[in-house]
């Protein structure tokens, strides 16, 4: 991407979108166009088409989506399917009509089949049924990846996609009821420290392994791919490193300075024993994550302390 080219970051105020804006600024891209949802509702086809006709961005990074935890997904499967289909159809088609040179669509690792072998390779997508608790979201995201692939094949559009693993970092949702495991556990452990709790309870045995990527590393990979990747096949983005929930909790104890005891509630489910991505393809192309989990957790906790009031 040329440094002065007009780049549209959709979802710029979200966790991933704001990291992409920071990364673009760090690299000297100063010509960005952004819109809040109040200014441009991406589910509105006419408004999106008008925006592209007027602004004519050269590059698009689509980081806007309806995103949520298990409870939100289960309660509103139709909304997750409908809104995400609308957002991505409108943005991808309008980008095509407006002659956008390159577009990046973001999938997510939770759309791989529920039973797929681990670590998940790119070719396992659609080898089985997605997790039923979020299949509305998964089906929309799979359609987005496929639409980019088909646009690439039929029209020669350079519309590429990536499949990020679990992300943590700044601007995350720290509410334990709706947030993902890292921010949820961080917030609960911070509160346990404040309250002087002797014990900290964790669902399951602590042995389940998950993969965590710092959001700034994801943003770095996305901008790097926009500049280097020309293929239609989507790519996994992750660390390729599995971390057990117990290891995560021990790291967080150190970062937060909590000295109570970790108690594993084995009456609660562990979920899948291991879930992480095969990242050999992106490694072969030359990209690797740079933020180790401990360092990412320290930065995230500092951000949380500075911003939790707002």
Ligand X SMILES: NC(=O)c1ccc[n+]([C@@H]2O[C@H](COP(=O)([O-])OP(=O)(O)OC[C@H]3O[C@@H](n4cnc5c(N)ncnc54)[C@H](OP(=O)(O)O)[C@@H]3O)[C@@H](O)[C@H]2O)c1
Nearer to ligand X, 192 or 251 (CB): 251
The yes-or-no answer on residue 137 being catalytic is yes
Smallest distance, ligand X to C-beta of residue 290, A: 18
In whole angstroms, the minimum distance from the beta carbon of 18 to ligand X comes to 8
Q: Report in angstroms how near the CB of residue 260 gets to ligand X at its nearest.
A: 27
CA distance linking residue 62 with residue 9, whole number of Å: 6
Choosing from 29, 137, 168, 258, which is the catalytic residue?
137
Alpha helices in the chain (DSSP H): 15-26, 45-55, 70-75, 77-97, 135-155, 181-195, 215-228, 245-256, 280-285, 293-307
- DSSP SS3 for 162: strand
Question: Residue 294: helix, strand or coil by DSSP?
Answer: helix
| Residues within the interface to ligand X (CB under 6 A) | 11, 13-17, 37, 41-43, 63-67, 87, 106, 108, 164, 166-167, 180
Cβ closest to ligand X, residue 158 vs residue 180:
180
Q: How far is the CB of 64 from ligand X (least distance, A)?
A: 4
Residue 54, judged by CB atoms within 10 A of its CB (0-12, 13-18, 19+), counts as: exposed
Tell me how far apart the alpha carbons of residues 210 and 290 are, in angstroms, rounded to a whole number. 18
Question: Per-residue DSSP letters for 49-91?
Answer: HHHHHHH--SEEEE-------HHHHHHTHHHHHHHHHHHHHHH
The annotation places the binding site at 11-17, 106-109, 141, 164-167, 180, 188, 203, 210, 270
Annotated binding site for NADP(+): 11-17, 106-109, 141, 164-167, 180
Catalytically active residues are 137
């Amino acid at each position: 991407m040329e440094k002065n080219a007009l780049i549209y970051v959709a979802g710029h105020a979200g966790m991933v979108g704001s990291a992409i804006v920071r990364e673009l600024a760090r690299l000297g891209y100063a010509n960005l166009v952004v819109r809040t949802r109040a200014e441009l509702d991406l589910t509105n086809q006419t408004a999106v088409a008008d925006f592209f006709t007027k602004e004519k961005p050269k590059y698009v990074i689509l980081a806007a989506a309806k995103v949520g935890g298990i409870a939100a997904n289960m309660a509103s499967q139709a909304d997750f399917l409908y809104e995400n289909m609308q957002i991505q159809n409108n943005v991808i088609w309008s980008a095509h009509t407006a002659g956008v040179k390159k577009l990046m669509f973001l999938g997510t690792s939770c759309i791989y089949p529920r039973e797929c072998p681990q670590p998940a390779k790119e070719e396992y997508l659609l080898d089985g049924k997605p997790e039923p608790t979020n299949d509305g979201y998964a089906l929309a995201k799979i359609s987005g990846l496929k639409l980019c692939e088909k646009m690439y094949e039929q029209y020669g559009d350079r519309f590429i996609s990536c499949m990020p693993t679990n992300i943590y970092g700044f601007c995350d949702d720290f509410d334990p009821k709706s947030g993902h495991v890292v921010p949820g556990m961080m917030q609960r452990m911070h509160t346990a420290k404040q309250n002087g709790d002797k014990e900290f309870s964790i669902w399951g045995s602590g042995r389940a392994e998950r993969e965590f990527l710092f959001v700034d590393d994801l943003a770095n990979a996305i901008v790097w791919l926009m500049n280097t990747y020309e293929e239609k096949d989507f790519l996994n983005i992750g660390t390729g490193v599995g971390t057990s929930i117990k290891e995560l909790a021990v790291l967080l104890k150190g970062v937060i300075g909590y000295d109570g005891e970790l108690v594993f509630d084995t009456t609660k489910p562990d979920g899948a024993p291991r879930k992480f991505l095969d990242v050999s393809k992106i490694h072969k192309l030359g990209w690797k994550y740079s933020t180790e989990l401990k360092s990412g957790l320290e930065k995230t906790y500092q951000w949380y302390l500075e911003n939790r009031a707002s």
